[in-house]
Structure 1
Amino acid sequence: MKSLKIVFALLVGVLAAGCYNDFDTPGPRKLYTDDDMTQLGLQQVSIKTVKGWFTDAFGGISGTGTNNNGWENTKTLKFGDLTPDESQFISLKGRPDAADKYIKGKVISSDRQGNIYKSLYIYDGTAAIELKLYNGLYLDYLLDLDKMESQWVYVRLDGLYLGNYRMMLSIGGAPSDGINTAGTHKYYANSNLDNPRVAKLNVFPGEYVKLEASDILEVNSSNYTTALGEDQLGRLVRFNGVKIRYAGIPNQDDVTNPPMLNGTFENPYPTWIVTDWGSPRYGAWYRWAYNVNNVRLYGSVLMCYNETETNTANPGVYGIRTSGYSQFAMKPIPKDGAVGNVLGIYGVYGQKWDQAQFQISASRIEDLDFKPEDLLTEAQIERMTPASSYEPPVKNGGDDYTGE
């Protein structure tokens, strides 16, 4: 406890040094450095090492992705000692030796266009991780992909939680539970640090830095089977020369063209998806996501390197995930068979590795790089969209879908 008080006192001192020096003429905000972390008595540890702590504690990430069957199945690793109140979190395991550790990584995501929400992804050359924070992160943390400019971020680990949601690891606040809009009880392995002032006790903006070519993982048809795996989750990945393939619905030009299958299901991809009903409900839609009359639903469009693959858990098939709250939700998607480049955060969604959906979340519409002539026209969209898709199901009691 004494050492914790000393660290907190040092932290207050470092924070005070970065405060505005005059109310009328504020000085520049504090940008932290390695020396500041040394002053706090902290030692750097790699993101790869931190993620390894989770897999060591729980035997890997496969099988840890459920959050609807109680705390015993909701896997969380706390950085620090467990309190008596945390005995309810049966799967929670403490990591006291993280008390004097920090991670440091470059910003590789942005929430400016609304597709990535309350999350900041950072990369340190060994691995990437999601930080569950607050809205408007682009105002505090720089990412300019046109100029390849980024910023260092420091994360003091003590007191935070390394959690798992559908096998995607993130660092955030304490575990939380709640009822979703379908009335289903959900248990979350960690929570967002929604208050920026609270977040800034652990997460510090660092100096500006160039985003190097090596900070973006380049994938193509010749290396996707070897380049992507568990270690690349959370990384910024560019898929070069990847093909859009609809599943369960016909080609826009040739209705006799057989669609790509998605596992054993002929789910209508591209689609908007209603997830707040327990089991997903699908509707055919030909825009990146659904935003009509204030009903916002996320969308998923398949892209592939291997058109013969029928299982989205296998290499070669990936879902481009787009929020109904993104600025490009209602933009038209590419035609079936269009080839382009997609840049985004590589993620996973599922409870077990061999049953997962691998997903890409783009920060910007510019990162969904397809030729203008390869995008669907309004006439094609109108012709192919079923009438029922213009009237999505509304839950009993309201229509407050979150798109999450």
Structure 2
Amino acid sequence: MKKINLKIAFILIITAFAVFYGCIKKDIDVTPNVPYVDFKANKSIKSLIDGYISGVDTIKEDWIIKGVVTANDESGNFYKTLYIQDDSAAINIQIDRSNMFNAFKVGQVVYIKLKGLCLGNYGGMIQIGFPYTDAGSPTCGRIPDVFVDDHLFRDSMPGNPPTPLTINDINTLNDSYKGKLVKLTGVVFETPCEAYSLDYSATSNNIIDKQGNKIVLRTSNFATFRAKGLPIDTGTVIGIYSTYNGAKQFAIRDLNDVIYQQPCPSAFVNIVNESFASGTLGVFKQYSVLGTDVWNYGTYSGKYYAQITGYASGTANEDWLISPAVNMDAYFDESLIFETATKYDNPAGTLKLYWSNNYSGTDNPNNATWTEIAPINLSTGNFTWVSSGNIDFSAISGNKVYFAFKYTCAANNKPTWEVTNIRLRGKKN
């Protein structure tokens, strides 16, 4: 009996030890791998920036800076860029790596060994990169992915980022704020409910303070929040301050940086958006009813457009530039905006805007019923680009609506017309 009791006791002790060891092992397994460095910074960010003169400055010294990450690429608004800040200044690092936010989270302390890297100037912003030769000219580009871990070192787990510097007068922003995390208080957006960014390009929206001063909010078309609407009331915006060729700019990291009581209930979206930058007529189609001249793609001095002229044939023409079909019933508050330029002869009355909800989409547009939209603001000559302004389309209904530009000319009156940046927008139902 005594031997049985001893055996039971022994088994219980072994079992308890196994359970205890298993708990310890489990705790060890989940302990995070905390990064650390065994060296110190020997240069401040401000002294690094102050030492830059011009061009591509390749760093040959064993300099090390330390900073805290204030912005990364998590939302897509900062492309392959990290911003770090210390007590003296802030700077951005150009890195050829995607999804950097997984390692370099906001609040992460980072040490950078600068030897072999370079300083460059992009629009007035000093940045850290990697020296390249591009077509025989030196340039400071992104740090290649394979070299990132040789230069950037995390220390400890991410903590809190620096407290944003509070600004209530945009005019007080100067070079000492460049690259830093800044809080703009008591500000409004000039165009509430506009989307933060267009789908096809980065977009600028003005922020206005109580004094009426403005700063551009720059948002990438790759930002995850780009389609959201700008808020309505007065509030606070946190972000990174920068300049580009002397112009003040601001960029948020995500929508948590925009603190307002009245967000936009519904943002405008682009239903049709054509800049003709593809080198074709894009989503538009042309249909020639009379004459041999047709709508074509054109470009001049960096501008892309659809173009037509009666000069080629010297005869009368009727030509249509027709949009894709649009389900207007799926939207509300629709409006159309575009730009025109013209020259030669008398352009008055030779370009008109129409819409139809019974056009087939393929045959002669004269077989359908079209309603003219007038008056509209058009260019008057000398190839001067003129915006139409927002043209109200909200009263137009139908699930298959087309709009079109109709060009007509006589044999003795043959103006040239150019049309671009055609944007039909609205709010989804």
TM over 0.5: yes
- Residues in 2 aligned to 1:139 and 1:225: alpha-carbon distance in whole angstroms: 36
Q: Is the 8 A contact 1:125 1:215 kept in 2?
A: no
How do 1:225-374 and structure 2 match up within 5 A?
Answer: 225-226=171-172, 228-246=173-191, 286-291=194-199, 296-305=200-209, 308=212, 316-335=213-232, 338-350=233-245, 356-371=246-261, 373-374=262-263
1:200 Cα deviation after fit: 0.8
Counterpart in 2 of 1:121? 83
How do 1:63-142 and structure 2 match up within 5 A?
Answer: 75-80=55-60, 99-133=61-95, 134-142=97-105
The structure-2 alpha-carbon separation of the partners of 1:339 and 1:26, relative to structure 1 and needing over 3 Å to count, comes to: closer
1:37 Cα deviation after fit: 1.7
Counterpart in 2 of 1:220? 168
Q: Is the 8 A contact 1:176 1:191 kept in 2?
A: no
1:225 Cα deviation after fit: 3.6
Q: Is the 8 A contact 2:189 2:230 kept in 1?
A: no
Q: Is the 8 A contact 2:229 2:263 kept in 1?
A: no
Structure 2 segments unaligned to the other structure (5+ residues): 1-28, 283-429
The structure whose Rg is larger is 2
1:329 Cα deviation after fit: 1.1
Q: Which structure ranks higher in relative contact order (CA pairs < 8 Å, sequence separation ≥ 6)? A: 1
- Residues in 2 aligned to 1:398 and 1:153: alpha-carbon distance in whole angstroms: 49
Seq. identity, %: 25
Q: Write the letter of the residue equivalent to 1:49.
A: S
Counterpart in 2 of 1:32? 36
- Residues in 2 aligned to 1:339 and 1:28: alpha-carbon distance in whole angstroms: 42
TM-score by length of 1: 0.57
Counterpart check, 1:377 vs 2:325: no
1:369 Cα deviation after fit: 2.3
Cα RMSD, aligned residues only: 3.0
Match of 1:395 among 278, 282, 294: 278
Counterpart in 1 of 2:312? none
Q: Which has the higher strand share?
A: 2
Q: Is the 8 A contact 1:166 1:349 kept in 2?
A: yes
* Matched position secondary structure for 2:140: coil
Structure 1 segments unaligned to the other structure (5+ residues): 1-24, 59-74, 81-98, 144-149, 179-185, 253-285, 309-315, 351-355, 400-404
Counterpart check, 1:191 vs 2:141: yes
Figure out how many residues of one structure are paired with residues of the other and give that number: 253
Q: Is the 8 A contact 1:288 1:331 kept in 2?
A: yes
Q: Write the letter of the residue equivalent to 2:164.
A: I
TM-score by length of 2: 0.54
1:307 Cα deviation after fit: 5.7
Counterpart in 2 of 1:402? none
Q: Write the letter of the residue equivalent to 1:360.
A: F
